[in-house]
Amino acid sequence: MYITSKVDFSLSVDGMIGEIEVYGITEKMKSYALEKLSTADELCLDYPVSVLPPSKFFMPPRESLITFSLISDTEVHHSLKAKPSVIIGIHPFDLHAVKLSDSVFLGKHIDVNYRARRSATAIIGIDCLNPWPFSFASSMGTTTPPDIFDLWLTDLGNDYLIEVGSSKGDDLIKKYFDARKASDACIQQREKLREDALEKYQLHLDMPFQEIPRILEASWESPMWKELGQKCFSCGSCTMVCPTCVCFNVRDKIDLKLTEGERRRYWDSCMFQDFAIVASGENFRPTGTDRLRHRLYRKGKYMLDRWGELGCVGCGRCINACLVDIASPVAAYNRLAGEVGQ
pLDDT digits (tens, 9 = 90+) for 50-102: 999 998 899 999 998 888 888 766 667 676 778 899 999 999 999 999 999 99
Of 313, 299, 339, residue with least CA distance to 134: 313
Confidence of residue 300 (pLDDT cuts 50, 70, 90): very high
State the DSSP H helix or E strand holding residue 184, giving kind and residue range, or none if neither.
Answer: helix 184-198
Average pLDDT over residues 124-149: 97
Q: Can you tell me the distance from the alpha carbon of 267 to that of 237, in angstroms, rounded to the nearest whole number?
A: 12
Burial of 21 (0-12, 13-18, 19+ CB in 10 A): middle
pTM for this structure? 0.94
What confidence score (pLDDT) does residue 65 get? 87
Phi-psi group of 87: left, alpha or beta (phi > 0 → left; psi -120 to 50 → alpha; rest → beta): beta
